[in-house]
Amino acid sequence: MSDISEPRKSTAEHPAVLGLAGIGFGYDRDQVLNDVSLQVGPGEFVTVLGPSGCGKSTLLKLIAGVVEPTEGQLSLRHTPADERLGNISLMQQRDLLLGWRTVAENAGLGLELSGVDPYEILGQVKRIAEAFGLADVLERYPWELSGGMRQRVALMRTLLIDSELVLLDEPFGALDAITRSTLQLWLLDVVDQQDKSFLMVSHDIDEALLMSDRIVVMAPNPGRVIEQVIVPRISEKSHEALFEPEILDLKRRILSLLANKEQVA
């Protein structure tokens, strides 16, 4: 386990968990991503923020290994880049639960695929089910659950596999606003207990400010990084903290960045 007292310091002295250098994706006119460079440090929570269509989801698929970049270098701390499938967790926007499996069977899917013994899987699932608020529904089927619960099952499946980097693709994008804000705070708690780095994509500035240590702002056509900002450490992460002057200033700055680029595009 890493040092939990200071879990999210972006550090220069540690090698990055993930490094992207000049990543591009697309062909000729259909350039989806252009020259994307960013790093995610150990224990860091980074959010890639940008409007729809700026290639955020594609970026995560590239990092996860589902598709390969057409340009640039991708490096991981402990895994060769060509072995990243199965070693990086990716949670997509939709929960993608298998309807014929119970909550426990869905959550343990990653472990099952890597050949872990069924009893061991059930043990691991039960151990963390309480923290996910799913202890009472492990034998239920996805169609019996609400959207927020399904999303937590998907996150449980994502976090149960042994990886040091977790990619989140608008994890709460499909939920209503109230459920979303509850789950954001809950996810912060879960993140604090994990010895993992997180890279989330979002188009929600408040979500990015609330969750992240650092925000990478992207613009579309083609998707590219226009700015990286460090989110000041706020004493207690909560939605009230979003009204602190420092955070409001930052929000204003990000909004103007996005607005300027919108006009250009």
Binding site for other proteins (CB under 8 A): 61, 64-66, 85-90, 92, 94, 96, 98-100, 102, 109-110, 112-114, 133, 137, 140-146, 148-149, 152, 157, 161, 179, 182-183
With respect to other proteins, which residue has the nearer C-beta, 10 or 106? Answer: 106
**CB–CB of 91/46 below 8 Å?**
no
Q: In what order do the strands lie in the sheet with 214-219?
A: 89-91, 165-169, 197-202, 45-49, 214-219, 224-230
What would you measure as the largest C-alpha separation in the chain, in angstroms? 56
The beta strand positions in 41-107, using DSSP E, are 45-49, 71-76, 89-91
CB of 255 to other proteins, least distance (A): 30
CB of 85 to other proteins, least distance (A): 6
With respect to other proteins, which residue has the nearer C-beta, 80 or 99? Answer: 99
CB of 207 to other proteins, least distance (A): 17
CB of 91 to other proteins, least distance (A): 9
User: CA of 155: how far to CAs of 118, 159, 183, 196, in Å?
Assistant: 20, 6, 11, 13
The beta strand positions in 176-222, using DSSP E, are 197-202, 214-219
CB of 67 to other proteins, least distance (A): 9
- The helix or strand, by DSSP H or E, that contains position 2, with its residue range, turns out to be none
